[in-house]
Amino acid sequence: MSESFEPYAHRHPSTQHVMRYFAWGHLPAHLQEKSQACAELAGLMVSSLPDGPELTAGLRKLLEAKDCFVRAALDAAAAEQEAARSVDPAAPYGDGTEGA
């Protein structure tokens, strides 16, 4: 699935609205894989189901799950950086600054 959401222009406004939040290109590379997997599942559901309240609810719940997966990946990356700093106190922080 490409990141373009134009294929959903003919869909119900609620479907269009939720689908735009599945974009992943703005994310750092290590987060894109998690977000893209959810976007692909959302696209599959939209392409195979009719618009309606249950589709919208399912997409919203999938969006919540995607957000959780991305946050889990952020936590994992932060834990890796913290572990690296405990071995090498001069290792860079996530914001690009050097350790104290």
Q: What sign has the CA pseudo-torsion 20, 25, 27, 29?
A: positive
CB atoms closer than 10 angstroms to residue 44: 11
| % of the chain residues with pLDDT over 90 | 70
Task: Tell me the per-residue pLDDT of 1-28, one tens digit each, with 9 for 90 and over.
Answer: 456 557 788 999 999 999 999 999 999 9
Give the SS3 label for residue 25.
Answer: coil
Rounded to an integer, the average pLDDT of 72-96 is 81
pLDDT tens-place string over residues 24-55: 999 999 999 999 999 999 999 999 999 999 99
